[in-house]
């Protein structure tokens, strides 16, 4: 009887594994709290995947340590396609260049697809004596160390986006780090700080209300959230300046290629939905999708680029 039971169990297990992916619920680990941008973007996509693939895609928030805790949970999970990571630029492209992490992104993760790009914008106080990006660059360049720029913290994405902008534009200004973007923007609006590059999502309300003056976006193309703003590469005459935050889906290294391809294909289809695009618009994000191979190449370029910014600006964080 025991032998027969074992045979029946093996046949049942084999049958389950032979069923098309997915044949049971998929866990999507978000290494941030509910309501954060990565969380919202990942949830929107998970809902579409659930509809198209016929299985629940369950969000599992695992915040902490700048996203590294949740990322490590996925790295240590079985590579079977049933645990996915809502990956983002902070814990994947930036943090490993600044401090030791319990994972190596390019080695321990299998990229699936991008799902969102989050551009930043250059903003100044409404009274700042420059009304265009070219005027701004000329003024700051002519006055080394006179002007200040803020960020949400040393080594934060906003800090690195700003350092690259300053370097490529030939600007020398003083960095003032804050604990979060909200207090930084408060001081910018009051005139205590001269300029900042922050996410379009955090700025659009202030720009539309006239509390901040926007001079351009950091992406190579205009963003749907602020379509009137030109790219800084063009507006400030900085060819090649194209940077921002990103969000995507990844899986543990070793996840079967057919699973990765299926997920990437469904994500690409999801990005065509008008309601998803509208939702992203309210988040100040642009939709994105690519193949696992394209995302792998993208992550390699991003890690190398942020590493270069950190080294060139000699950025250090307390461990």
- The whole-number average pLDDT for the span 211-216 is 97
- The whole-number average pLDDT for the span 282-306 is 95
**pLDDT (0 to 100) of residue 282:** 86
Task: For CATH 3.40.190.150, list the domain ranges present in the chain.
Answer: 23-117+244-313
Structure tokens at 235: 């507006």
The mean-pLDDT minimum among 6-20, 91-105, 185-199, 278-292 falls in: 6-20
- Rounded Cα distance between 307 and 42, Å, is 26
**pLDDT (0 to 100) of residue 283:** 87
Of 79 and 3, the one with more pLDDT:
79
Mean pLDDT over each residue of the chain, to the nearest integer: 92
Q: Is the pLDDT of residue 319 over 80?
A: no
- The whole-number average pLDDT for the span 180-196 is 95
**pLDDT (0 to 100) of residue 188:** 96
What's the fold here for domain 119-235? Answer: D-Maltodextrin-Binding Protein; domain 2 (3.40.190)
Distance of CA 229 to the CA centre of its chain: 21
- Rounded Cα distance between 175 and 196, Å, is 10
- Rounded Cα distance between 288 and 302, Å, is 16
Q: Is the pLDDT of residue 314 over 50?
A: yes
Query: Which CATH code fits 23-117+244-313?
Result: 3.40.190.150
Q: Is the pLDDT of residue 167 over 90?
A: yes
pTM of the model: 0.88
- The whole-number average pLDDT for the span 230-249 is 96
Task: For CATH 3.40.190.10, list the domain ranges present in the chain.
Answer: 119-235
**pLDDT (0 to 100) of residue 19:** 80
Q: Is the pLDDT of residue 3 over 70?
A: no
Q: Is the pLDDT of residue 88 over 50?
A: yes
**pLDDT (0 to 100) of residue 18:** 60
- The whole-number average pLDDT for the span 156-174 is 97
- The whole-number average pLDDT for the span 191-220 is 95
Q: How many CB atoms lie within 10 A of CB 76?
A: 12
Q: Is the pLDDT of residue 292 over 70?
A: yes
Q: Is the pLDDT of residue 280 over 70?
A: yes
Closest listed residue to residue 28, CA positions, set 71, 65, 69: 71
């Amino acid at each position: 009887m025991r032998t027969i039971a074992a045979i029946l169990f093996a046949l049942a297990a084999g049958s389950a594994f032979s069923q098309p992916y997915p044949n049971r619920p998929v866990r999507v680990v978000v290494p941030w709290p509910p309501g954060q941008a990565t969380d919202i973007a990942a949830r929107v996509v998970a809902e579409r995947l659930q509809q198209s693939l016929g299985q629940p895609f369950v969000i599992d928030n695992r915040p902490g340590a700048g996203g590294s805790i949740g990322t490590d949970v996925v790295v240590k999970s079985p590579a079977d396609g049933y645990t996915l990571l809502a990956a983002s630029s902070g814990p994947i492209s930036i943090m490993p260049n600044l401090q030791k992490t319990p994972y190596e992104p390019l080695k321990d993760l299998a990229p699936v697809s991008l799902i969102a790009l989050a551009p930043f914008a250059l903003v100044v106080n409404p009274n700042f004596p420059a009304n265009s990006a070219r005027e701004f660059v000329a003024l700051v360049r002519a006055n080394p160390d006179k002007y200040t720029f803020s960020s949400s913290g040393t080594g934060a994405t906003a800090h690195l986006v700003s350092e690259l902008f300053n370097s490529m534009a030939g600007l020398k200004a003083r960095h003032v780090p804050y604990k979060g973007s909200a207090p930084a923007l408060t001081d910018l609006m009051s005139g205590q700080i001269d300029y900042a590059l922050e996410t379009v999502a955090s700025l659009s309300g202030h720009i539309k209300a006239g509390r901040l003056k926007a001079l351009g976006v950091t992406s190579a193309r205009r963003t749907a959230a602020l379509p009137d703003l030109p790219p800084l590469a063009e507006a400030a005459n900085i060819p090649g300046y194209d940077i921002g935050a990103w969000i995507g889906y990844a899986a543990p290294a070793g996840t079967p290629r057919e699973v990765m391809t299926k997920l990437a294909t469904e994500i690409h289809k999801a990005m065509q939905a008008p309601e998803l695009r509208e939702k992203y618009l309210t988040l100040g994000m642009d939709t994105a999708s690519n193949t696992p191979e394209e995302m792998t190449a993208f992550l390699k370029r991003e890690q190398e680029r942020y590493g270069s910014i950190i080294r060139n600006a000699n950025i250090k964080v307390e461990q």
